[in-house]
Structure 1
């Protein structure tokens, strides 16, 4: 027969409360994701506000000089590596004759300056400005002829032939290849600036016009059979194509460097490694 009874037991257990679960999840987040979570919390809860970031400890003159020396050495090494490259096409080294402009001038400013300096008629300058406004940072024309015509309100109306003629003059500006509507046209514009007696030039222009897909897949056998050319002639033509810059606009306005903010600093102090949490980018909240 069953009888009711009371029993007393002692034990330990870990209860994952919502607060503990949230703390564990936040501890695993990197700084960028943590900042995103904090920003979301600030937008949802009007009672929260962000405190000022703590001042970053100042470094001594010796340590600053050491950091600057390291940066200068790294910059020299990177420049030396960039001087021997192929414009982004393959890994075969060649000396570079052009370097990116670090003056801070944008591609648009560079092209507009040339519109004023070159022999453009006043009407062509207006058309050229509309064309330049449609060129992206890589140097490619994103808008079509019809879209450019819609942006122009002149009397008498601008014709399609005038836009094509002005675009041809814009494509002769620096950097060579700017204003192209496709990668094929960009390469052909750059190849057209070479001496016509250059070995493999005619073949290179033909490949750039119709067979870039085979170059991308490295199907050189099919390319040689389709063009009915020798291996040496094909090699010369491909070398000319690889020497072109697929993004000519970046030679004037290169993409800005993106710096990574570390989560922690590891320093060797008195032969002992110390780990410090980076105070940069870690906001503090208060209620």
Structure 2
């Protein structure tokens, strides 16, 4: 086999991203919660990056404050602080809160016994984990309804029921809803919520035999209630999705807001800028310090600009959504229009992977 060497020309097109561009793309696609984590990590590792917080007046010195406190008052304060430090903190559970109210209520002892059994059967939402009749003895059944009525009158209103629909109805009755309004509200909660979510208000008004204005008032009242009242006393920490954008209908107008309040305002520490100016007076001797400072300040400045670019791009995307899906936001899901990433990217003038 004969081997020959030869030269050939090839034309290739390559796109190389530097570190700054890669970081910018990564920040652009991060959800708000992860962006918060990234910013917090940068604040910990980069000394030149600080929060742009307003300056507060300095606190008075300890000597000045202590001069105003008598020896007796200081001793009492110290004793109180010591007691607070040694005190055992105990969270109040839903069961604790209900049992405390039960203990302050004058009631038949047998009703109280049944009520305590029912309270122990509630989950963190305030709902029965097992049917009440299944956890009571036959001789306790005559006191079941009185015990349920008693528990449902306690704070928070709406516990001691089977599900969120019953809870909403109990809350509504406690707030004074009655008569035809109560009948319509119960029908709305029990049978019409799915239609309301789908925007089928006309069907709901026919089903409930009420005017659209009355339906709007009932639905607004419904939204003011709490579907899971027991969670007020739950120690579980739930994770919530923080929206980057919000589009709300206010007084017949659609309002677009970029959620910048969840992100801290960043800036470069002025003291390091002053330090850089001082070090530049003798560049040869301070070469390493200047390079370190320049690198850290450059990274801090890049992060600040990238966060601002992200917010600007988000706002542009929101404007496109507002324009293309106005009918959806105004009138409901049935008016949504087809919209693909490519179309949005072309309008915003970014790559579709950024959207």
With normalisation by structure 1, the TM-score equals 0.49
Which structure carries more helix by proportion?
Answer: 2
With normalisation by structure 2, the TM-score equals 0.41
> Taking CA–CA contacts closer than 8 Å with sequence separation of 6 or more, which of the two structures ends up with the larger relative contact order?
1
